[in-house]
Structure 1
Amino acid sequence: MGHSRYDDASRGRTAWNAGKNVGAKRPLTQKQIWAVRFFLDRERRVRDRALFDLAIDSKLRGCDLVKIRIRDFVTGPEIRTRAIVVQQKTGRPVQFEITTDVRASLLAWLERRGGALGDYVFPSRVDDAKHVSTRQYARLVDEWVTAIGLRPEEYGTHSLRRTKASMIYRATGNIRAIQILLGHSKIENTVRYLGVDVEDALLLAERTEI
């Protein structure tokens, strides 16, 4: 059970988020994406490269990403160019693209991993019948960003979810499209998630000639 701030037991206790950055995690830049890919390729971490690439392309929450099964995007010997999953948080389906380079890294991993269509793409190290945990996924992201000289306090699994969405928004200014891609039920959630502010709105307006 938790403690009320009025309880004697809570006095003198350090807050769970003391000294931690608990705000929105930064998205990666294109240069940082390729730095992580170079690191993973150099270390021959085929699984991690596939996991990283799919996280960027899918824009899924960690809880949905780790539960993806082989059948979700494999048809026969081919990896589909699009896939669809039902989100755990909202119960709503969301569709995402799988670009050429990402299909290549997924195929390289699946050829090594093997398994049946009903198996998880990224199995647990402890039990092959289970998927990698969200906690382990978070540890991996910390390791990847640290390896390229970034502060893990400023980046996390949501950084990978936000990365491509942020790039698309900066290129198009289309909030509605980002809402669909992220599977948000309300556009207000997308606005907050991307950190859209008055400056963003003014820049978009200035680029529009009448």
Structure 2
Amino acid sequence: MGYSHYDPGMQDRPPWNAGKKVGTKRPLSQKQIWAVRFFLDREQRIRDRALFDLAIDSKLRGCDLVKLKIGDLVAGSEIRRRATIIQQKTHRPVQFELTSDVRASLMAWFERRGGTIEDYAFPSRIDCNGHLSTRQYARLVDEWVTAIGLRREEYGTHSMRRTKASMIYKATGNLRAIQILLGHSKIENTVRYLGVDIEDALLLAERTEI
């Protein structure tokens, strides 16, 4: 049972979002991506560098990212160039690319991590047979953005998911491609997710000559 604003007990109860920034989290810029990578490399955080690179490249929700297994990312002795998973939220397949930077950081992590194709790529600190929790992943994102001087209230796990999608959209204006990459069932969801507004639409129109 939830509280009602008519309940006397709610009169002095602060709202759940008091003092918090809610709404869409901001994507990272290219400069900020390299700043996080520099920080993680300097601190020799091999796992976090692999997790960060994979989060940016895959554009997966946190719940799907943390459940990836080594076998989802590895084929034989090499890191896959493309991978496909079934999304937890939509139960629909989504494919993502693994570029050279993420393949290199994943290889460095797996060589250190060891394990089999049935093991989670990023194991839990508490249960070695379990996966990193979404809460711990969120804490790591807070730590990464704070380390490079950003306000953690403005960034979160969805910043990782939105970053590359936003860059591709700005470069191409192709909403259908972004819809496919994010695994959205409706293009309206993609429009809302990217925060596309009338100004974006007008800028795209102005760049199109007939």
TM range (shorter): over 0.9
Check if 1:185 corresponds to 2:156: no
Question: Residue in 1 aligned with 2:162?
Answer: 162
Which whole-Å CA distance do the structure 1 matches of 2:135 and 2:16 have between them? 17
Structure 2 counterpart of 1:26, one-letter code: R
Tell me the equivalent position of 1:79: 79
Amino acid at match of 1:169: Y
Alignment of 1:45-56 (within 5 A): 45-56=45-56
What does 1:110-121 align with in structure 2 at a 5 Å threshold? 110-121=110-121
Q: Name the counterpart of 1:7.
A: 7
Find the aligned partners of 1:116 and 1:8 in 2 and give their Cα distance. 56
Match for residue 145 of structure 1? 145
**Paired residue type of 2:31:** K
Deviation at 1:71, TM superposition (A): 0.5
Tell me how far apart the structure 1 counterparts of residues 75 and 183 of structure 2 sit (CA, whole Å). 24
- The RMSD of aligned alpha carbons is 0.6
Q: Which residue of 1 aligns with 2:101?
A: 101
Cα deviation, 1:102-130, whole Å, max 9, x if unaligned, reads 00000000000000100000000001100
Tell me what 1:20 maps to. 20
Tell me the distance in 1 between the aligned counterparts of 2:22 and 2:199.
24
Q: Distance in 2 between matches of 1:35 and 1:64?
A: 25
Q: Match for residue 57 of structure 1?
A: 57
Instruction: Give the secondary structure class of the aligned counterpart of 1:72.
Output: helix
What is the aligned partner in structure 2 of residue 203 from structure 1?
A: 203
Q: Give percent identity, aligned residues only.
A: 80
Displacement of 1:2 in angstroms is 2.0
TM-score (norm 2): 0.99
Q: TM-score, normalised by structure 1?
A: 0.99
For 2:137, give the aligned amino acid.
Y
Q: Match for 2:121: what amino acid?
A: V
* Residues 27-56 of structure 1: per-residue CA shift (max 9 Å, x gap): 000000000000000000000000000000
Distance across 2 between alignment mates of 1:73 and 1:134: 19
**CA distance in 1: counterparts of 2:2 and 2:44, whole angstroms:** 44
Aligned-residue offset at 1:7 = 1.2
- The one-letter code sitting in structure 1 at the alignment partner of 2:193 is Y
Rounded Cα–Cα distance in structure 1 between residues aligned with 2:75 and 2:182? 24
Q: What SS class does the counterpart of residue 160 from structure 1 fall into?
A: helix
Runs of 4+ that moved beyond 4 A: none
- Structure 2 partner of 1:194: 194
